[in-house]
Amino acid sequence: MKALVIEDSQTGLAVVSQHLERMGIQPIAATDGESGVALFREHNPDIVLLDVVLPGMDGYEVARRIRAIEQSGEWTPIIFLTARTADTDLVQGITAGGDDYLFKPISEVVLAAKVRAMQRILQMRYSLVVLTRKLDAANQELTRLTSLDGLTGLSNRRHFDETLMREWRRAARYKRPLALALIDVDHFKLFNDTYGHLAGDECLKSVANALQAVSRRPSDLVARYGGEEFALVLPETDLAGARNVAEGVCDSIRALQLPHGASPSGVVTISVGVASLTPGTGGPQNLIAEADLALYDAKSGGRDRVGF
Ligand code: GH3
Ligand code: MG
Ligand code: MG
Ligand code: MG
Ligand code: MG
C-alpha cells in the first residue's frame, strides 16, 4: 500500500512518514500542492494525507484537482491533516472532496485507526467492483442464451428479427443490397408421421448444422425462423449472389442423404425462397414478403429448389 503525504513542514512530513512506515505503508512525499498533484498522477496512491496550508495551491484545491483527475468510479481516500480546527474548516475540506479530517499534532494511533477505516471501505469497494464484473459477464451470457434456439443452437426468431431490422437500416443508410433466404423443409409433416417427432427433431438439428456450415461470411446470420423453417440474412448480397448461396444450401441438405421414405426423392430436401433489395421506404417486412412469395414458387414448382 502506498500513501501520498502532501505536507510543507519537513518535521510534520517526517513524523507522518514514520507512522506510515510502522503501519507497513510506503510514504510518497510532496511539500507543495503542485508537485503533490503530479505525484498523485505518477504513483496512483491508495490514500492521500493532505495538509491544508501549503505554499501556492492550498489543500482544498489539491483535493479538488485529485477528484477531477480520478476517472468516474475511481476513488482515493483523502484525509486532511491540519491545525485548523474550526467546524467551517472541516466542512470546507469535506466539500472539497476530502473524506476525513485529522488535527495536528497527529496522534499515531488515531492516524492508524483512520487509515484502517479507509482500508475497510476500499476493500468493500473492491468487492463491489468484482461483483459488478461478474454481473456484467452473467448478463452477457444471458443475452447470448436468450438469442439462441434451444433445439438447434441457431439464432432464434427474436434475434433474427433484431438482426434483420438492424441490417435493413444499415443497408438503407448506405444504399446497399440486403438479401434474405427463407428455407422450409419439404414434406416435413410426412417425415414426422413416418419416423416420429423425436427423429424429426434430430433431422432439424442436422439441417441446422448443415446450414451453419454453408454460411460463409461472418456477417451472414443463420436462424431458426420457426418450426421447420429457417432463414439466412445476407447483407451486401444481390439477387444473383443470394441465389448462388441458396443453391449451395439446397445441394448441401440433399447431400446429407437423410432418409425420407415418404418424400418423392427419398431423402430430406428443402425449398428456398430468396429476395434481395436495396431498402428504401417500408421495413424488413417487404423483404420477408418477397422471400415468402419466392418460397411459395419453389414449393409449387416441385420443391427441392430455389425460388426467386
Ligand atoms: P411442405 O413441403 O409443403 O413444406 O410440407 P410440410 O409437411 O413440411 O409442411 P407443413 O408446414 O404442413 O408441416 C410442417 C411440419 O413441421 C408440421 C410440424 O409438426 C413440423 N414441425 C414444426 N416444428 C417442429 C419441431 O420442432 N420438431 C418436429 N419434429 N417437427 C416440427
Ligand atoms: Mg502547512
Ligand atoms: Mg413450413
Ligand atoms: Mg415444410
Ligand atoms: Mg421475385
- Mean pLDDT, rounded, for 282-289: 96
Structure confidence at residue 229 (pLDDT): 98
Which tens digit of pLDDT belongs to each residue from 25-43?
A: 999 999 999 999 999 999 9
Distance 222 CA to ligand 4 centre (A): 17
User: Which atom of ligand 1 approaches the CA of 200 most closely?
Assistant: 29
Judge if the upstream peptide bond of residue 105 is cis by omega within 30 degrees of 0.
Answer: yes
In whole angstroms, give the CA distance from residue 221 to residue 160. Answer: 8
Which tens digit of pLDDT belongs to each residue from 255-265?
A: 999 999 999 99
Is residue 73 predicted with pLDDT exceeding 90? no
Is residue 216 predicted with pLDDT exceeding 80? no
Distance 256 CA to ligand 5 centre (A): 28
Which tens digit of pLDDT belongs to each residue from 167-215?
A: 999 999 999 999 999 999 999 999 999 999 999 999 999 999 999 998 8
In whole angstroms, give the CA distance from residue 270 to residue 253. Answer: 7
Structure confidence at residue 208 (pLDDT): 98
- Mean pLDDT, rounded, for 74-79: 97
- Mean pLDDT, rounded, for 239-257: 97
Structure confidence at residue 32 (pLDDT): 98
Helix ranges (H only) for the chain are 10-22, 33-43, 59-69, 87-95, 108-145, 157-174, 188-195, 197-214, 239-255, 284-300
**Pocket mutation for ligand 1, best pick of 157, 183, 185, 188 (most atoms within 8 Å of C-beta):** 188
Length of the chain: 308
Interface confidence: ipTM more than 0.90: yes
- Residue given cell 503533490 in the structure block: 36
Which tens digit of pLDDT belongs to each residue from 101-141?
A: 999 999 999 999 999 999 999 999 999 999 999 999 999 99
Task: List ligand 1's pocket residues with C-beta within 6 A.
Answer: 151, 184-190, 192, 197, 200-201, 204, 227-228, 299, 303
Q: What percentage of the chain carries pLDDT values higher than 90? A: 96
Can you read off the three cell numbers belonging to residue 246? 441458396
| Closest-approaching ligand to the CA atom of 294 | 5
Structure confidence at residue 169 (pLDDT): 97
Instruction: Say which residues have a Cβ less than 8 Å from residue 104's Cβ, sequence separation at least 6.
Output: 12, 81, 82, 83
Can you read off the three cell numbers belonging to residue 209? 448444422
Distance 265 CA to ligand 3 centre (A): 18
Structure confidence at residue 281 (pLDDT): 87
Is residue 72 predicted with pLDDT exceeding 90? no
Please check whether residue 209 is in contact with residue 154, taking contact to mean a CB–CB distance below 8 angstroms. no
- Mean pLDDT, rounded, for 64-88: 95
